[in-house]
Chains A and B, each alone.
Chain A
């Protein structure tokens, strides 16, 4: 790369950094005050683009109307944010940690289908910014004026938000709430209003970020999810709640991507390396490295002590034999009285149930949130497939070895992850998952790349649907029973001690990290078992098994059922799989309906479905007593 090219690529990187920063700023602000992991932030960004497109079309193509359109779109998205906060999130601030994520997941689904309904499926290419369509010559290369403008916008917005935070009463309240929101409440500040206003600003920033992209990016329906991961990465790399950190992280990631593209294919030590192929993973590599070296991001501080909004989660109650036996009996006779499809659906549900239970195992009792649990699910599935097809091992052997391979990766990844806590830990698991995914996605000779592997069918004695069904039930049932049994062993109690009071646990000689690491490995192995069981039932496996959306599905299942109950994840997995399968058949807009159902559950049962039913049952019993 020549010097002028390098300079231009740096400028390109800064343009992207500015865009990344704008989306992340709002996310960081909202998280700082409300502790909500706002999964719908990408949807707000997408809405910003669509609204700007329509507004600019309405207002005409003059510079004034262009900028008016951008600002109005940002405000409109801010209003959408307010509506979301007032209608949904306000009702569940007291729910267990992360439960709000479930609500925002539902909002993603609803916004996506609403957008499709209003704007249609075709990509909408917006106008270029009037008055800024020229390009400047820099060292013989041309750079569009609008891109140069964007480079400035990021720092300017940072400055404005900084002024707002440091020189206004509202800003002082936001900073106070970020540090200690209970105290702010105790001092008589109306938290509801404060949260709503923060949501307005955060959402408007996301909308602005989207609207400003209108000359560079067509409005399309995939933007929400493609942006959200970037925004999380930037926020976390920068340090949660730190806006300068977010800008720094955005610059780091934007420039790194541009350089990967700029370098292109180069030979290093005789190897041809195509750096452009690294673009899809480079931000996660950066996140991994940053989090391992600086556990709270570049400019983040250790989080303020959160006073638990109440006591520690209640102890779990083990399942009762009569109920368990009734379910087992039902599952045994199910394939005899129904068709193959029910068996197929139940196989899916059982695999996802084991997946969700293994996630719950580390999330609930061990207190480690994972955003990247699909890594082990995918690794298990791929391990089975690769051993069968590439190593030529018998199906049974491949199947049995697969969970151990997933566990081996969990040993490696877990060692780094357990050193962190909270959202940072969650994001490090995501980093490892994405790195795994990108390797699976691109290693053609081993994994067949993006196409995935086919022909992964079970051995002859398992080839009928009912045989494989029983085998799935045995494997997943034993897996679930094993994890549950562990939770009620001294090991499980130790995990809980480490979660509820890490200081005291360490003081009495418990190696909290060591136990967490072991729990991580156990959960990884069981997720791997779930993955390989599913792979052999489908006959094929593709990288989506290790993708972000698979991880998210797992989280949603656990939260849907209730993180504070034992059977919640199983019920969540069943309901999730069954609903998604059934709804897609009934209506074209199944995602919106699915989202609405989840929202309804969220609002009615803030403890998750099983938790909610338990509360209801308890109340009913009290009223009878």
Chain B
């Protein structure tokens, strides 16, 4: 029996040692970044590259507060519980200045609430959910990307102008799809009171039964279709619909269909004429974007995706916040974030004081096919600030804290 105890004791001791390894004080300013790298690889690979570029540029320019910056990344496996544990580790062991990142809405909301509890700044890069800045917004959380509501609102002018009466809707059955659908119905009804929504299909994320869904939509004889599908679901929907001739002479809107992540895999089958929001990287020639584009291309020998823009701009927002605060004190950082202006490849954006949402915009246009590739045509940039509800409405939604 002694032997067993001795063995267990030594195992215990080893475990204990590995647990209590001391954290070393580091010279650079660390940003704690959490994301679902393996679960949403198609979007987050380019995102990570964007972050790396931002870090490189910042440090080449001498860093911030006289120190270099460093991003410490953690993979949350797409699971909020893992994300919160990673956040805990980043704060207590890596001693990061604050938190950035996250992709799915449930992870974003969980980390946001954790940040509130820990009184730590959190800049959510990608989560699209409206709730993170509105219904469940908190003092410590800011969000960069235009939300589901904003992106939907950007498409409304085109939708209303066409004056189609019967609309069919298809959406992935989770928060993003549900909010997009709700926002679309509400906003279009306001502009066009006689609109009718004749069919609605909620499809399981990643598992759309495309043939059946397309048929069900067509059976409702709509004048137009609003879709918030993306990724493999979108590709299956496009192919099933074109094979069945449903999209011929049909007006279709797809919320994220112009993002290179989801448009490029479609190649020459990209559905020409669809109204989408996205990122026309080929044709965007503004000074800010060209500079970013060239640097990105030189470093990675690849063109940037929307994820690259989000990753790059998230880190740049963090750097700008530190610069403006002049310190790493959380309250000063949070104060600095309000009305903070950040230069991004899409031009300057401002983090609004009223709801902590940035005014980053998106490109609205139509899909075209050029040289066997899907592109955006007739696009225009819509500033995020023009796609948001009034401040009074926002204040009503946001809890007071």
Query: Which A residues lie at the B interface, using CB under 8 A?
Result: 1-2, 5, 8-9, 12-13, 15-16, 112, 116, 120-125, 128, 133, 135, 141-144, 147, 215-218, 220-222, 226, 257-258, 261-262, 264-265, 274, 276-277, 279-280, 320, 322-323, 326-327, 330, 334, 337-342, 344-345, 348, 441-442, 444, 449-452, 454-455, 457, 534, 538-545, 580-581, 584-585, 588, 590-591, 617, 620-621
Flag if A9 contacts B215 (CB, 8 Å): yes
Q: Which of B41, B86, B231 has the most CB of A within 10 A?
A: B41
Nearest A residue to B217 via CB reads A264
Q: Which of B80, B93, B212 has the most CB of A within 10 A?
A: B212
Flag if B89 contacts A265 (CB, 8 Å): no
Flag if B131 contacts A334 (CB, 8 Å): no
- B239 contacts which of A216, A279, A539 (Cβ < 8 Å)? A216
Flag if B219 contacts A274 (CB, 8 Å): no
CA distance A272 to B117 in the complex (A): 40
CA distance A545 to B81 in the complex (A): 9
CB distance from A11 to the nearest CB of B (A): 9
CA distance A502 to B106 in the complex (A): 45
Does B331 belong to the interface (CB within 8 Å)? no
Nearest B residue to A259 via CB reads B212
Please indicate the chain A residues that have their CB under 8 angstroms from the CB of B131 in the complex: 451
Flag if A588 contacts B212 (CB, 8 Å): no
Instruction: Give residues 336-382 of B contacting A (CB, 8 Å).
Output: none
Flag if A280 contacts B74 (CB, 8 Å): no
Kindly specify which of B197-205, B273-281, B311-319 makes contact with the partner chain: B197-205
Flag if B41 contacts A258 (CB, 8 Å): no
Flag if B80 contacts A339 (CB, 8 Å): no
CB distance from B288 to the nearest CB of A (A): 26
Nearest B residue to A280 via CB reads B204
Please indicate the chain B residues that have their CB under 8 angstroms from the CB of A2 in the complex: 219
Known contacts: A320-B1, A454-B110. The answer to whether A277 contacts B202 by CB under 8 A is yes
Flag if A449 contacts B209 (CB, 8 Å): no
Which 6 pairs show the lowest CB-CB distances between chains A and B? Answer: A121-B41, A280-B204, A454-B113, A540-B110, A450-B174, A340-B92
Kindly specify which of B7-15, B52-60, B389-397 makes contact with the partner chain: B7-15
Nearest A residue to B177 via CB reads A450
Query: Which B residues lie at the A interface, using CB under 8 A?
Result: 1, 3-5, 7-9, 12, 16, 19-20, 23, 37-38, 41-42, 44-45, 74-75, 77-82, 84-86, 88-89, 91-93, 105-106, 109-110, 112-114, 117, 129, 131, 136, 173-175, 178, 199-204, 206-207, 209-213, 215-216, 218-220, 231-232, 235-236, 239-240, 243-245, 261, 264-267, 269
- B106 contacts which of A128, A216, A450, A534 (Cβ < 8 Å)? A450
Please indicate the chain A residues that have their CB under 8 angstroms from the CB of B92 in the complex: 339-341, 344
Known contacts: A123-B232, A344-B89. The answer to whether A322 contacts B5 by CB under 8 A is yes
Known contacts: A276-B203, A330-B16, A584-B75. The answer to whether A539 contacts B84 by CB under 8 A is yes
Flag if A261 contacts B201 (CB, 8 Å): yes
Contacts A217-B236, A444-B178, A584-B77 aside, 10 further interface pairs with beta carbons under 8 A come to A112-B38, A125-B235, A125-B267, A144-B211, A222-B232, A342-B20, A449-B178, A451-B106, A534-B81, A539-B114
Flag if B93 contacts A584 (CB, 8 Å): no
Known contacts: A135-B245, A441-B174, A451-B129. The answer to whether A122 contacts B265 by CB under 8 A is yes
Flag if B80 contacts A258 (CB, 8 Å): no
- A539 contacts which of B110, B209, B211 (Cβ < 8 Å)? B110
CB distance from B6 to the nearest CB of A (A): 11
- B207 contacts which of A124, A221, A280, A538 (Cβ < 8 Å)? A280
Q: Which of B1, B89, B91 has the most CB of A within 10 A?
A: B89
CA distance A588 to B75 in the complex (A): 9
- B80 contacts which of A141, A322, A544 (Cβ < 8 Å)? A544
Flag if B42 contacts A122 (CB, 8 Å): yes
- A265 contacts which of B20, B199, B203 (Cβ < 8 Å)? B199
- B12 contacts which of A124, A144, A326 (Cβ < 8 Å)? A326
CA distance A621 to B328 in the complex (A): 59
Known contacts: A326-B12, A451-B109, A544-B80. The answer to whether A142 contacts B245 by CB under 8 A is yes
Known contacts: A449-B175, A584-B77. The answer to whether A144 contacts B212 by CB under 8 A is no
CA distance A258 to B208 in the complex (A): 11
Flag if A544 contacts B106 (CB, 8 Å): yes
CA distance A348 to B84 in the complex (A): 11
CB distance from B183 to the nearest CB of A (A): 15
CB distance from B52 to the nearest CB of A (A): 13
CA distance A279 to B79 in the complex (A): 23
Flag if A540 contacts B244 (CB, 8 Å): no
CB distance from B374 to the nearest CB of A (A): 11
Please indicate the chain B residues that have their CB under 8 angstroms from the CB of A135 in the complex: 243-245
Flag if B243 contacts A142 (CB, 8 Å): yes
CB distance from A324 to the nearest CB of B (A): 10
- A451 contacts which of B20, B93, B175, B204 (Cβ < 8 Å)? B175
Flag if A581 contacts B232 (CB, 8 Å): no
